[in-house]
Structure 1
């Protein structure tokens, strides 16, 4: 699926789409999905539980990678995937924007999981968890509870409750002891910096994300917050220890590459970048300003065009204030793109532009000062200069 429009490109999708294939039996002791034949040997001896980390590929919805849990015991080889969703559900994009999207957990054969990532050129890294048999039993119970009809659907949140944080949380709950992570003092990115890195090859997607993310996205993140990205979780798990009764043991017993990275094709975005569009607008504004200076006329249609774009984008940003996404509630882009522009269009058409000019100048000054707190989208300083040129009587 190709997402080219600004609104859809701005939607922060962090998991890969796979058609849900549910396991025929839920993973709990009652229905025997994981129960081995009775013997003197603990059936959990043969169980291997792993965290699977899939590297990103170049579809918009998979730029952030993916994570899942693998339960392998003899012929039973299941993947527990919290990243199941469907674009066909009513108002999916709108609900995602407002933070009202529901995702769900599905369990299905591992053989149905890995070929999808292989065909897209993504790698799959498996980290075998160093769990005791009792911890495996606890994890078995938790997976079964999560897979029940009333529990498997959950309210998805891009940064705080997604396909990476859900496996982490259920693994931590299963451990009898404390998981001690190695703090990464040299790695303290903001949410915006991490999202930008994932979208580095998709400038319009990065632009859209930057437009919707507000001041809170520029705050330093904690180790736990950084684990919304599966690749960060994989790194943290690799260096984590389990502490109990004065003793430590590594969280990961073995790490192996299940699927090697393949060739990925980076498809061309729109033929002009956001910066090139901004420069084009500036050139037009300068040319119109020179024409107005020489002819002593005002080109009202250009003001109306700019104000229309300001107002329409401003409506989207205003709506995001009410979204459940915590990083969109305070967005200084509203100073540059504000719905009030639509209100002043009739006055500008009538030649009464003084009040709008003063208001626009104040918003541009505040926008410039706001750059101390918020990092703006590519090309936005050029757009601000373009609007500043129009601040004349």
Structure 2
């Protein structure tokens, strides 16, 4: 009764060990796989992976550094704190292609011009990295993701044999500019990114910084070289387009009334309208002031938590706190009173000063804010000025 399960276990163990020790044939190849953007925000930047193909050993395998486990303990809490654990997963190349074909996304491969020992060493590195005890890594959107891992692996395995020249990068963009290139039709996604990420992404990106995007990794490999016994040659041997969608992606620009700019413009007009009405009647809409201060305070706390209470490197030094001022959350309850404390006068002068400081920092591109914020910042300034002038 116990012999069969034991036999099955050892058979499984033997197959795992033998597969891990597999020696590729001299026909085996290593390719970098680059995938085009998708319809959703999470897929709008594209994707990168490795492919190991060996027809002799009937091996056609994808190594994907862009996966994570929703069922991991405290996943959402760790996600919010910036402790993002991603994994190297593997699957058959055919299954991988089915997903991208279904999502109508192009897929290209770059076969690397490596000798047998280099192909075998890369394969063994990936196999070892895919083991349960090695597959996890701490993800960073800009500096350690599915795209940056591609170059890191090649540099680790081949050391100084490979040179990435990066001479294809001729622009001078920040991380925020690079994100904007891919989110032109993702207005709300771009607005959320601009609200959550700080001034650290407004510095000019280095040539290596571009490589968090799969398109730039593709170009980096196109321009890379490898040193061999016979001299220096291009690292990429052959390019192939595996999937070329017959139709364009369905991402279409939002109607103006659905954009963040229109939404914030509408809110701003409401604030200005009631402010003008209050000015004429020499009254104050307490409910309006409470909502303004309460919501800006809540947003301000969220901004500060992302800055100080998480490990997200891109949320540091977020100057959105200048308009989304966290103390407003407490002050909001004072604004419900008919007679306001005298210090409210000076507090509102401070809020006006902070908005002016923000405008100067924006002008000098210390931090670039979303253009949809212009009407809201104007309306807030008008409301705060009204409270100062009316001396409520």
Which of 346, 356, 373 in structure 2 is aligned with 1:380? 373
> Quick one: distance in 1 between partners of 2:111 and 2:374?
48
> Quick one: distance in 1 between partners of 2:128 and 2:145?
18
> Quick one: distance in 1 between partners of 2:226 and 2:127?
24
State how 1:72-221 maps to structure 2 within 5 Å.
Answer: 72-74=53-55, 75-89=58-72, 91-175=74-158, 177-221=161-205
* Shift in CA distance, 327/25, structure 1 to aligned 2, threshold 3 Å: farther
Contact 1:48–1:71 (Cα < 8 Å) also in 2: yes
Aligned equivalent of 1:314: 300
* Shift in CA distance, 246/183, structure 1 to aligned 2, threshold 3 Å: farther
Q: For residue 346 of structure 1, report the CA deviation from its aligned partner.
A: 2.5
Q: TM-score, normalised by structure 2?
A: 0.86
> Quick one: distance in 2 between partners of 1:34 and 1:127?
26
> Quick one: distance in 1 between partners of 2:245 and 2:13?
32
> Quick one: distance in 2 between partners of 1:184 and 1:266?
28
Aligned equivalent of 1:224: 208
> Quick one: distance in 1 between partners of 2:360 and 2:74?
37
Contact 1:26–1:144 (Cα < 8 Å) also in 2: no
Q: For residue 347 of structure 1, report the CA deviation from its aligned partner.
A: 2.3
Partner secondary structure for residue 128 of structure 2? helix
Q: For residue 358 of structure 1, report the CA deviation from its aligned partner.
A: 1.8
> Quick one: distance in 2 between partners of 1:79 and 1:61?
20
Aligned equivalent of 1:14: none
> Quick one: distance in 1 between partners of 2:244 and 2:13?
31
> Quick one: distance in 2 between partners of 1:130 and 1:93?
42
Paired residues in the alignment total 363
Contact 2:268–2:375 (Cα < 8 Å) also in 1: yes
Partner secondary structure for residue 26 of structure 2? helix
Does residue 1:355 correspond to 2:336, yes or no?
no
Q: For residue 150 of structure 1, report the CA deviation from its aligned partner.
A: 1.2
Contact 1:122–1:262 (Cα < 8 Å) also in 2: no
Aligned equivalent of 1:274: 260
Q: For residue 196 of structure 1, report the CA deviation from its aligned partner.
A: 1.7
> Quick one: distance in 2 between partners of 1:59 and 1:204?
12
Q: Deviations over 1:245-266 (max 9, x none)?
A: 7931101000010111243222
Partner secondary structure for residue 110 of structure 2? strand
> Quick one: distance in 2 between partners of 1:65 and 1:73?
26
Contact 1:67–1:167 (Cα < 8 Å) also in 2: yes
> Quick one: distance in 2 between partners of 1:27 and 1:237?
35
Aligned equivalent of 2:38: 57
Q: For residue 98 of structure 1, report the CA deviation from its aligned partner.
A: 2.4
Does residue 1:291 correspond to 2:291, yes or no?
no
> Quick one: distance in 2 between partners of 1:254 and 1:99?
38
Q: For residue 33 of structure 1, report the CA deviation from its aligned partner.
A: 4.4
Partner secondary structure for residue 61 of structure 2? strand
**Which stretch shows the higher mean deviation, 65-74 or 266-275?**
266-275
Q: For residue 381 of structure 1, report the CA deviation from its aligned partner.
A: 2.0
Q: For residue 267 of structure 1, report the CA deviation from its aligned partner.
A: 6.7
Does residue 1:305 correspond to 2:291, yes or no?
yes
* Shift in CA distance, 27/345, structure 1 to aligned 2, threshold 3 Å: farther
**Which stretch shows the higher mean deviation, 141-150 or 172-181?**
172-181
> Quick one: distance in 1 between partners of 2:123 and 2:316?
39
Name stretches of at least 5 consecutive residues in structure 1 with no aligned partner.
1-23, 37-42
* Shift in CA distance, 170/242, structure 1 to aligned 2, threshold 3 Å: same
Aligned equivalent of 1:257: 241
> Quick one: distance in 1 between partners of 2:259 and 2:182?
17
Aligned equivalent of 1:39: none
Structure with the larger helix share: 2
> Quick one: distance in 1 between partners of 2:95 and 2:47?
15
Q: For residue 153 of structure 1, report the CA deviation from its aligned partner.
A: 1.0
Q: For residue 333 of structure 1, report the CA deviation from its aligned partner.
A: 0.5
Aligned equivalent of 1:16: none
> Quick one: distance in 1 between partners of 2:85 and 2:180?
25
